[in-house]
Structure 1
Amino acid sequence: MTKPRVAVLISGRGSNMMSLIEAASEPGYPVEIAVVISNRPEAHGLARAQAANIPTRIIDHKAYADRASFDAALDAVLADEQVDFVCLAGFMRLLTAEFTRKWYGRMINIHPALLPSFKGLHTHERALEEGVRIHGCTVHFVTPEMDVGPIIMQAAVPVLDGDTPETLGARVLAQEHVIYPAALRLVTEGRAALRDGRVVVDEFELMPPALVVPPAF
């Protein structure tokens, strides 16, 4: 059976992109990483994707007059590549409401905080400033409003005395690499479903709380 084709959108180094590519290289993983798309021609993740034999496309946002025209070009590339599902992996562009509505339920994002806390940028610095003792990351469906879509999976890490944004960020990033491929699997296998604006995960609904919710296995 043909696997769903996934596009990974990046703007930088492609760390989470590589976690998805590596997961998809396993025979039992349910998707094919069909293309990596960057809005920045200089993004290091493009070379990493090419080294993994993944096709790449560049849509330089500077070549477009506004977000709507950029999103139209992006949508055309997704259609050309016959993409079924989109993963944002460090993609530093706000997408228009029209685009996100079209892809609702078929586009997910990884955010380096436990949403709904610390939406937006500089999440690790803000977590340290606020003195939280637990921090983490979230995979969620993308909606028109930034960082508020239905949550699929989260992972938490402790905030340690003496942490810097760099040490805390590294601890969170390690969990991002765990839960992003796990969440993509749940969604594309139909085990994480949208119901009334929330995500219901079938076999994990009655499991006890865990550091990763739902458990990443």
Structure 2
Amino acid sequence: MSNVSHAPIRCEPQNIAVFASGNGSNFLAIHRAIQSGQLHANLVLLVCDKPSAPVIHKAEILGVPTLALSPKDFPDKAAYEQAILKALSEKKVTFIALAGYMRLIGPTLLQAYPNRIVNIHPSLLPAFPGRDAIKQAMEAGVKVTGVTVHVVDESLDNGPIIAQEPVAVFDNDSLEELEARIHETEHDLYPKTLAQLLNHFAKETSHDKTSSHQCI
């Protein structure tokens, strides 16, 4: 009988895609986290539904492959998502992070990536779902809003919550000042939460029941 113990091995990085529609500040935060080693992943694709969005240029500068598709060029949502799914499969994507992607994910992608699509939303869900969440919070007069990372399902901003971080709303806040603090919180919380999720999924996909090796 062998007494040799097997040391833990480092998990293979997950191939992730980021979906975005606008300026891409959370896309950049994710890229920085990967470059710094905080996030053990390969950012292999940016998917954008607006071919003129600023995030595309930022991705190109960073050397991240892009897929820019306009939904109006497809007969229906299923066909649009099927084109995206083809690109994700080619890049061997295992996890999707929505980062300001202003479109509901449909059954085609949800079925292909069950519990492997997450989103960041600028409120403490279930409060203020949908568009203009920061403006909604200000108009409601709340003293605390925040940021939520959640699993994506077929509903609007209603999937299981993974992580939240509060952000105070001050009496003299302008919308721009509150937005800046929300974004700063997003850029910290999202990469940190993704790192935990990807480590969990990497252990799942790397686990071999016939081996005593464990990944770290």
Residue in 2 that maps onto 1:140: 150
Query: How big is the shift at 1:176?
Result: 0.3
Q: Distance in 1 between matches of 2:168 and 2:30?
A: 25
Query: How big is the shift at 1:95?
Result: 1.7
What SS does structure 1 have at the residue aligned with 2:36? coil
Query: How big is the shift at 1:14?
Result: 0.6
Query: How big is the shift at 1:6?
Result: 0.4
Question: Which amino acid in 2 is paired with 1:189?
Answer: N
Q: Which has the higher helix share?
A: 2
Q: Distance in 2 between matches of 1:10 and 1:166?
A: 21
Query: How big is the shift at 1:56?
Result: 1.3
Structure 1: 5+ residue runs without aligned partners? 192-217
Percentage of matched positions with identical amino acids: 34
Summarize deviations over 1:148-168 as a string: whole Å, max 9, x none. 111111111110012222221
Query: How big is the shift at 1:2?
Result: 3.0
Distance 1:101 1:165, change over 3 A: farther
Residue in 2 that maps onto 1:199: none
Query: How big is the shift at 1:99?
Result: 2.5
Residue in 2 that maps onto 1:90: 100
Larger radius of gyration: 2
CA RMSD between the two structures: 1.6
Q: 1:119 aligns with which of 126, 129, 154?
A: 129
What SS does structure 1 have at the residue aligned with 2:200? coil
Q: Distance in 1 between matches of 2:167 and 2:114?
A: 29
Residue in 1 that maps onto 2:40: 30
Q: Distance in 2 between matches of 1:36 and 1:171?
A: 25
Question: Which amino acid in 2 is paired with 1:40?
Answer: K
1:106 aligns with 2:116: yes
Distance 1:166 1:23, change over 3 A: same
Tell me the TM-score normalised to structure 1 length: 0.84
> After superposition, where does 1:59-98 map in structure 2 within 5 Å?
59-98=69-108
Residue in 2 that maps onto 1:203: none
Tell me the TM-score normalised to structure 2 length: 0.84
Using CA pairs below 8 Å that are at least 6 residues apart, which structure has the higher relative contact order?
2
Contact 1:101/1:143, CA 8 A, preserved across alignment: no
Summarize deviations over 1:11-55 as a string: whole Å, max 9, x none. 111110000000011235311111111111101111111111211
